[in-house]
Amino acid sequence: MSSAMALSSSLMRLGASRLSSMMGLARVASSSSMSNSSSSMSSSFSSSSAASLVTTSLGDAPITIELPRPYDTHLCEPPSTTVTTTPAEIEKFFKTTYLMRRMEIACDVLYKGKFIRGFCHLYDGQEAIIVGIEAALTWNDSIVTSYRDHCTHLGRGGNVKEVIAELLGKAPGCSKGNGGSMHMYRKETNFYGGNGIVGAQVPLGAGLAFGHKYRNDNCVAITMYGDGAANQGQIFEAMNMAALWDLPCIFVCENNHYGMGTAEWRSAKSPEYYKRGDYIPGIKIDGMDCLSVKQGFAFAKEFALKNGPIIVEADTYRYHGHSMSDPGSTYRTRDEISGVRQERDPVDRMRKLLIDVVGTSPDQIKAWEKELRKEVDDAVEFAKNAPLPPDAQLYENIYVDGKGIEARGVEISNVNVLG
Ligand SMILES: Cc1ncc(C[n+]2csc(CCOP(=O)(O)OP(=O)(O)O)c2C)c(N)n1
Ligand SMILES: [Mg+2]
């Protein structure tokens, strides 16, 4: 097979076959003079979600866009592929995905410079999923995810300084420097981590959904897992209970098509993850498109509140290797990676919408990019200069009330020899 043929067959497997001229397919149905949209109409983003990580300057005149890729569904009717958005929302999506991308690239550099130690799993390529989810949900809805969690923290209102300081094990990190890469956490906006054990967060998410149902608070729980984790038994146990009790749970399979170095076709009898809940309805969305994700999750939330659990499969791709010890190019070709980058990149897609649909100038976009890169650079400097946690912190978070002891019976004087 020629390399061009191999690339095209790889892309077809990766769901790009129907994305013909994906970037060019967005259709403006009603755009009232988009070129005026950068007026002072609004500097705040009107969304169901809470405060934004980025500020916006464009207007909020509604734009209607036709998604290039339809939704596939299992046991439910698909949502419309006509999405309503605004210039400010597209600006927000662009800026947030760009900031996340730059943060992950900074983490790569910090890891290679040995400032970050231990495990580190990057999210670049997958940013549109978390950005689209947060556009459709509120922070009263709960979210729990795997170890690939840096951008989830930003989506839940955390900032780049807290993430990078955590990665460096520093005191101002979001988990006080105790956790590192896999253990972001933000209870105040219902983000329950960052979990290092593959699949372990999925039953936790079902439990969070139980909590919402019990409190009758009209919220859902999002529980995220990968295509590799999707084959685990505990996923099906959690789904069974969620379905049995009609829990408002959205099971989200982030299908980046690999579990470490294993391609999905080598590990899954059926890679149609949105159908794998059997009796649980499912929907497959384009996880590289913020607008597709937003619309898909607005649908999923409404569905889950009314009917009980639903599976959302987000078709996506990770650009980096599985973790920093994986170059990411031994089990997939460089052409496959660059093909996805060229045809489906979530940041480029929003940049193109800004230019083609909203009428934003490339110079304006470059100026925004410069500001966002500076924000990341400043966060890196902040984290490098930040203090380590105090030694006494080693003894915290063992018992709720501390019990007045400093260590868990490790001193010889504490050993009670029987017999
Ligand atoms: C129970 C358990 N088994 C194995 C591992 C090692 N491991 C870490 S990530 C991973 C692959 C998971 O792939 P996937 O679910 O597709 O998520 P992705 O990394 O692609 O986001 C494995 C096997 C682990 N952390 N926990
Ligand atoms: Mg995977």
131 Cα to the center of ligand 1, angstroms = 23
Query: How far apart are alpha carbons 30 and 52 in whole angstroms?
Result: 26
In ligand 1, the atom with minimum distance to the C-alpha of 232 is 1
Ligand 1 neighbourhood includes 322 CB (under 6 angstroms): yes
| 259 Cβ closer than 6 Å to some ligand 1 atom | yes
CA atoms within 13 Å, Cβ hemisphere of 279 = 10
> Is domain 2-375 given the CATH code 3.40.50.970 in the classification?
yes
Separation in Å, CA 142 to CA 53, 177, 298, 390: 18, 23, 15, 31
The answer to whether 225 and 201 have CB atoms below 8 angstroms apart is yes
Amino acid at 410: V
* DSSP state for residue 78 in the 8-state scheme: P
For the chain, residues with pLDDT lower than 50 are 1-49, 419
* Cα torsion through 32, 37, 42, 46, rounded to 10: 60
Check residue 405 and give its pLDDT. Answer: 60
The pLDDT value given to residue 352: 98
Token pair 């897609």 is found at 349
Q: 232 CA to middle of ligand 1, Å?
A: 10
SS3 for 394?
helix
C-alpha dist (Å) from residue 185 to 27, 108, 141: 39, 21, 15
CA distance 156 to 164: 15
What local confidence, expressed as pLDDT, does residue 9 receive?
Answer: 43
In the numeric block, which tokens belong to residue 313? 């499969």
* Span 60-90, pLDDT tens digits: 999 999 999 999 999 999 999 999 999 999 9
β-partners of residue 63 are 85
For ligand 1, what atom is nearest to the CA of residue 196? 25
In angstroms, the CA 320 to CA 318 distance is: 6
Q: What residue's CA is closest to ligand 1, atom 12?
A: 259
How confident is the model over 366-389, as pLDDT tens digits?
999 999 999 999 999 999 999 999
**If you measure from the C-alpha of residue 201 to the centroid of ligand 2, how many angstroms do you get, rounded to a whole number?**
15
- Predicted confidence at residue 26, as pLDDT, reads 37
Q: Does residue 148 line the site of ligand 1, with CB under 6 A?
A: yes
Q: Ligand 1: which of 197, 235, 260, 276 to mutate, most ligand atoms within 8 Å of CB?
A: 260
- What single-letter amino acid sits at 231? N
Q: How far is the CA of 228 from the centre of ligand 2 (A)?
A: 5
- Could you give the 3-state DSSP secondary structure of residue 263? strand
Measured CA to CA, the distance from residue 333 to residue 66 in angstroms comes to 32
CA separation for the pair 96, 17 (Å, rounded)? 27
In the chain, domain spans: 2-375, 389-419
Angle made by CA atoms 254, 193, 126, in degrees to the nearest 5: 30
Ligand 1, atom 17, residue with closest C-alpha:
226
Burial string for 235-257 (b: 16+ CB within 10 Å, else e) reads bbebbbbbbeeebbbbbbbbbbb
Residue 178: what residue type?
N
Cβ(394) – ligand 1 distance below 6 Å: no
Contact 61, 86 (CB under 8 A): yes
Ligand 1 centroid to 192 CA: how many Å?
18
Strand ranges inside 18-113, DSSP E: 63-66, 72-74, 82-85
Q: What is the CA radius of gyration of the chain?
A: 22
pLDDT at 48: 41
Give the other-Cβ count within 10 Å of 3's Cβ.
10
Distance CA 284, CA 315 (A): 7
CA of 2 to the centre of ligand 1 (A): 32
Atom of ligand 1 nearest to the CA of 227: 16
Note residues around ion ligand 2 (Cβ under 5 angstroms).
Answer: 226-228, 256, 259
131 closest CA partner among 86, 167, 100? 100
Q: Where are the beta strands (DSSP E) in 90-242?
A: 142-144, 221-226
- β-pairing verdict for 221-226 and 282-286: unpaired
Q: Which atom of ligand 1 is nearest to the CA of 260?
A: 11
- The distance from CA 168 to its chain's CA centroid, rounded to whole angstroms, is 21
